[in-house]
Amino acid sequence: MSQVSEATVDSVANTGDALPHADVMRVISGVVLCILLGALDQTVVIPAVPAIAGDLGGFGQLSWIIAAYLICSTVSTPVYGKLSDTYGRRRLLMSCIAIFMATSALCALAQSIHQLIWFRALQGLGGGGLMALAQAAIADVAPPRERGRYQGYLSAVWAIASISGPLVGGFVAEQWSWRWIFWINLPLGALAIWACSRGLRNIKTHANGHKARIDLVGMLLLAGTISTVLLALGWGGREYPWLSFEVVGMLAVGGVLATLLMAQEKRARDPVLPPPVFANPTYVSSVLVSTLMAVVLFVCLFSIPLYAQLLRDASAAESGLYVAPFMLSNVSGNLLGSMYARRKGTIRGALRIATALSCFGLALSALMPAGAPVWMTVGAMVITGPGVGVCLLGTIMSAQNAVPSKNIGAGTGALLVLRSVGGASGSTLAGALVASGLAVASGAMAASHISANFELLYGITAVICAAAFIVTLRMPNTPLRSQISSVSLGE
């Protein structure tokens, strides 16, 4: 198979027309393995945690195996996005994969829990660029109106990895060793590097008209802001009470750093988060809806297995099957959102329908009695899933459409990092409410206490969906462009 032809790319650069479908698919083949690596590694480790504890000890620090990766990957996401606007997607994406592979090997060789935590943090620095750069690469070769068609492929891979990750991790840890969970990243990473080199060889992003200056101060302030907020969300209700000095203090430090970050970005020549991007009402609305629906997504992902185990007496393996219908309906939402965008040339209407649909599904879950049949509980989540899928795909399309080509990487990275913060908030909300139900549950009234807390959780999440719907009512109905302007001949 031939790679993207120089003549084709040069034609696109001069006319702004979209690449042929076959050429775009070669680019997609170059980034889809990156999505697989990033998504799989976030879930495959979870079922192996007991085996890791038995081998390395340190039961009290096991949560940091997940948290260290999450924090570092979230912190690095917008930085990679900004740097890729200057230095190109291909070079940085291949560097991210190489870092990811090297640190995967270190994780497999870890001899203590502390080593594994540090190596997982370093692995997150590589993993943080996989999703952001893959999404930005699609924006380089497909116009916004057609972009959902291709981003839907990535969303499908992410959903499949999210479902299969816990199954693969549990099987590998049980049949072989937890270390193979990390060793398997090496052949997958090598294949991803080859695919990226082939698929992105002649595609690069719009070049800025002046010599780039790295906003190091902004990057450090951004990293500090995200880290403190995520640590506070992780500690609250688990390590420390929500109103404790530690949690409140971390949130206060995060607020101070965020204020300093805004001041720095206003005066920086090449800000990591360009202020003009956040002055665009379409972009801001897209980011708000994306963040709120990320809360909904992670509430569902966290709560559905626990609901199955605590109220349906399902085993750990069976509880994973309860998530599958929700994730599959989520993927269907990606496809529906893509079809709507291509037909209507805008995405606001789809976001309004999607947020209303998810709100309705969660309201059904909140009002459902404890003894309701399984098909009813699963059905409510199947109603919720498509709306979440439409929003997560549609907000990326809308946000990238709203920013100039030179800021696509930075804009995409900012949206994804705030989406990660929303996801962490959703997991924290679900964990806190479920844990409080378990704390007071005892005897014959245990099930009713737990059921009441699940009802409260889904009720709160329905309100969050309603807030997202209100944002879409104020969102400008910006037409999706049918041309691209960020592709040029080069590396």
Give the 3-state DSSP-derived string for the chain, with helices as H, strands as E and coil as C: CCCCCHHHHHHHHHHCCCCCHHHHHHHHHHHHHHHHHHHHHHHCCHHHHHHHHHHHCCHHHCHHHHHHHHHHHHHHHHHHHHHHHHHCHHHHHHHHHHHHHHHHHHHHHCCCHHHHHHHHHHHHHHHHHHHHHHHHHHHHHCCHHHHHHHHHHHHHHHHHHHHHHHHHHHHHHHHCCCCHHHHCHHHHHHHHHHHHHHHCCCCECCCCCCCCCCCHHHHHHHHHHHHHHHHHHHHECCCECCCCHHHHHHHHHHHHHHHHHHHHHHHCCCCCCCHHHHCCHHHHHHHHHHHHHHHHHHHHHHHHHHHHHHHCCCCHHHHHHHHHHHHHHHHHHHHHHHHHHHHHCCCHHHHHHHHHHHHHHHHHHHHCCCCCCHHHHHHHHHHHHHHHHHHHHHHHHHHHHHCCHHHHHHHHHHHHHHHHHHHHHHHHHHHHHHHHHHHHCCHHHHHHHHHHHHHHHHHHHHHHHHHHHHHHHHCCCCCCCCCCCCCECCC
If one compares 378 and 62, the residue with the highest pLDDT of the two is: 378
18-32, 56-70, 422-436, 472-486: which has the highest mean pLDDT? 472-486
Residue where a domain stops, chosen among 235, 251, 268: 268
In this model, does residue 420 exceed pLDDT 80? Answer: no
181 in the same domain as 135: yes
50 in the same domain as 158: yes
1 is a domain residue: no
- Choose among 381, 376, 341: nearest CA to 361: 381
In this model, does residue 489 exceed pLDDT 60? Answer: no
In this model, does residue 471 exceed pLDDT 90? Answer: yes
479 is a domain residue: no
* Domains in the chain, number: 2
25 is a domain residue: yes
At how many degrees (to 10) do helices 348-367 and 316-344 cross?
150
pTM over 0.85: no
350 in the same domain as 232: no
Structure tokens that stand for 420 in this block: 């990660």
490 is a domain residue: no
Determine the pLDDT at residue 467. 95
Determine the pLDDT at residue 468. 95
Residue where a domain stops, chosen among 268, 289, 312: 268
Determine the pLDDT at residue 65. 74
290 in the same domain as 389: yes
- Choose among 52, 181, 180, 51: nearest CA to 116: 52
In this model, does residue 459 exceed pLDDT 80? Answer: yes
User: What's the whole-number mean pLDDT along residues 105-111?
Assistant: 87
In this model, does residue 236 exceed pLDDT 80? Answer: no
Positive or negative: CA dihedral 235, 236, 240, 244? positive
Whole-number percent of the chain with pLDDT over 70: 77
Determine the pLDDT at residue 171. 74
If one compares 443 and 52, the residue with the highest pLDDT of the two is: 52
In this model, does residue 456 exceed pLDDT 60? Answer: yes
Determine the pLDDT at residue 29. 73
Residue where a domain stops, chosen among 226, 242, 268: 268
Burial of 296: CB neighbours in 10 Å, binned 0-12, 13-18, 19+: buried
In this model, does residue 115 exceed pLDDT 80? Answer: yes
Which residues span the domain enclosing 223?
216-268
Could you tell me the pLDDT band of residue 19, with boundaries at 50, 70 and 90? low
205 in the same domain as 221: no
66-80, 134-148, 163-177, 451-465: which has the highest mean pLDDT? 451-465
Could you tell me the pLDDT band of residue 308, with boundaries at 50, 70 and 90? confident
Determine the pLDDT at residue 462. 94
The mean predicted confidence, pLDDT, of the chain is: 77
Query: For residue 104, how many C-alpha atoms fall within 13 Å in the half-sphere facing its CB?
Result: 27
- Choose among 442, 418, 429, 479: nearest CA to 132: 418
432 is a domain residue: yes
Whole-number percent of the chain with pLDDT over 90: 13
In this model, does residue 127 exceed pLDDT 90? Answer: no
In this model, does residue 245 exceed pLDDT 70? Answer: yes
Query: What CATH number did the domain enclosing 315 receive?
Result: 1.20.1250.20
Q: Bridge partners of 236?
A: 240
Find all residues with CB under 8 Å of 297, minimum gap 6, and list them: 330, 388, 392, 423, 426
304 is a domain residue: yes
Q: Are 152 and 98 in contact (CB under 8 A)?
A: no
User: What's the whole-number mean pLDDT along residues 230-249?
Assistant: 77
Q: From CA 192, how far away is CA 159, in angstroms rounded?
A: 19
286 in the same domain as 239: no
Q: From CA 11, how far away is CA 112, in angstroms rounded?
A: 55
485 is a domain residue: no
Structure tokens that stand for 35 in this block: 């999505």
Determine the pLDDT at residue 237. 65
394 in the same domain as 314: yes
409 in the same domain as 320: yes
460 in the same domain as 423: yes
81-95, 198-212, 305-319, 393-407: which has the highest mean pLDDT? 393-407
In this model, does residue 323 exceed pLDDT 50? Answer: yes
Determine the pLDDT at residue 63. 62
296 in the same domain as 228: no
89 in the same domain as 14: yes
482 is a domain residue: no
Could you tell me the pLDDT band of residue 60, with boundaries at 50, 70 and 90? low
- CA distance between the termini of the chain: 19
φ/ψ (deg, to 5) at 48: -90, -5
If one compares 221 and 162, the residue with the highest pLDDT of the two is: 221
279 in the same domain as 237: no
Q: From CA 165, how far away is CA 321, in angstroms rounded?
A: 12
CB neighbours (10 Å) of residue 371?
Answer: 8
